[in-house]
């Protein structure tokens, strides 16, 4: 299953973090830690497995730990309407 960014968001990088606003809902979201890298990697739709393979070389962490973090991020972002499944 692939995920894609919601095109109705305005996003900007600020000091290594990502700040986003939902145009539809008028709400703000902030991404810290690994989340901005995941968001950047989702410039094109990707599955959780593809994200793990792309991001694993950037972090000193086991693949299963990274997969758990990515799954949690994707689920949270999807539930908040920031990602959709194309």
Q: What is the CATH number of the domain that holds 68?
A: 1.10.10
Residue 60 covered by a domain: yes
DSSP β-bridge partners for residue 12? 19
Residue 58 covered by a domain: yes
The per-residue pLDDT for 44 is 97
Render pLDDT for 58-79 as a digit per residue (tens, 0 to 9).
999 999 999 999 999 999 999 9
Q: pTM, whole model, 2 decimals?
A: 0.89
Render pLDDT for 28-54 as a digit per residue (tens, 0 to 9).
999 999 999 999 999 999 999 999 999
Residue 86 covered by a domain: no
Number of domain units in the chain: 1
Residue 11 covered by a domain: yes
DSSP β-bridge partners for residue 11? 20
Domain that holds residue 42: 2-81
Residue 63 covered by a domain: yes
End-to-end, the C-alpha distance of the chain in Å comes to 9
In this predicted structure, the answer to whether residue 16 has a pLDDT above a threshold of 90 is no
The pLDDT mean for the chain works out to 93
The per-residue pLDDT for 25 is 82
């Amino acid at each position: 299953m692939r995920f894609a960014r919601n095109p109705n968001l305005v996003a900007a990088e600020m000091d290594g973090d990502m700040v986003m606003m939902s145009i539809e809902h008028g709400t703000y979201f902030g991404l810290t830690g690994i989340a901005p890298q995941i968001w950047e990697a989702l410039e094109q739709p990707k599955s959780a497995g593809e994200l793990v393979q792309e991001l694993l070389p950037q972090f000193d962490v086991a693949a299963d730990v990274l997969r758990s973090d990515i799954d949690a991020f994707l689920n949270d972002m999807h539930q908040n309407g920031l990602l959709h499944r194309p």
